[in-house]
Amino acid sequence: MTQTRTAEQTVFVVDDDVDVRDSLQWLLSSVGLHVETFASADAFFQAAANAPLRGCILMDVRMPGMSGLAAQTELEKRAIHLPLIMISGHADVDMAVTAMTQGALTFLQKPFSDQKLIDHVYAALEQEQLTFLKQTELAALKHTYSQLTRRERQVFDGVVAGLANQEIADQLSINRKTVEGHRANMVAKMGAGSLSELVQMSVKLGLASPFR
């Protein structure tokens, strides 16, 4: 699999076994990945509280203190939505099912091949990168939409509802020329090249048009 991580992405390894941590750090670093290791879930969460996280998590299921499954629940509580790869030295079908049901990307049983692990890590980083790009795009779209005036938003709603300029004017009790002016300003601000683009933007923003 081709490496696609960005400079900001990190593989967070959480395992109470120092030999496993060192081995995984060496392996993943050898293929150019940035790795941070933690001896416990608590140590990881302490570090996670200090900065936004990018990348993925590689976590052992069985650890003293907070287990991997308990940590998985804590990740959700803390809104840490990084792809999670669970690893275990014990064959436990129920544990694997629970981890996957709670949202783990995959569950690997030790011993696993180096290449298999690397492939799963690359897949996790690719997934996180796509999610990050979508979130960034949506944040930018929300900011752009927030720059519209109240009237421009009303015209936006009418346009994506499929109304003609005169119909929008009638709904808003303003003249058609005024609608045309607001529409031109709105389209320019949104950077939309077509009606379909405006409709797609409306869907991404989760807007429910009052004209419908």
* Neighbour count for residue 86 (Cβ, 10 Å): 25
Nearest C-alpha neighbor of 56 from the set 85, 30, 28, 79: 85
Rounded to whole angstroms, the Cα distance separating 149 from 145 reads: 9
So what's the pLDDT on residue 5? 46
Query: Each residue of 60-86: pLDDT tens digit?
Result: 888 888 888 888 889 989 988 899 998
So what's the pLDDT on residue 151? 95
So what's the pLDDT on residue 110? 79
Rounded to whole angstroms, the Cα distance separating 107 from 82 reads: 15
* Neighbour count for residue 26 (Cβ, 10 Å): 10
Query: Each residue of 48-58: pLDDT tens digit?
Result: 887 778 999 99
End-to-end CA distance of the chain: 46
Question: What's the chain's average pLDDT?
Answer: 88
Rounded to whole angstroms, the Cα distance separating 32 from 168 reads: 56
Assign 135 a pLDDT band (cuts: 50, 70, 90). Answer: very high
Bond prior to 111 in cis (omega within 30° of 0):
yes
> With the CA atoms of 72, 75, 79 and 80 taken in that order, what torsion angle do they form, in degrees rounded to the nearest 10?
-100
Domains defined along the chain, listed by start: 10-134 (3.40.50.2300), 147-205 (1.10.10.10)
Q: Which phi-psi region, left, alpha or beta, contains residue 162 (left: φ > 0; alpha: ψ -120 to 50)?
A: left
Which pTM was predicted? 0.77
**Percent of the chain having pLDDT more than 90?**
63
So what's the pLDDT on residue 6? 53
Find the helix packing angle between 114-146 and 195-205, rounded to 10°.
Answer: 110
Q: What length is written for the chain?
A: 212
Query: Each residue of 185-209: pLDDT tens digit?
Result: 999 999 998 999 999 999 999 987 6
Provide the CA 31 distance to its chain's centre, in angstroms.
24
Rounded to whole angstroms, the Cα distance separating 157 from 111 reads: 56
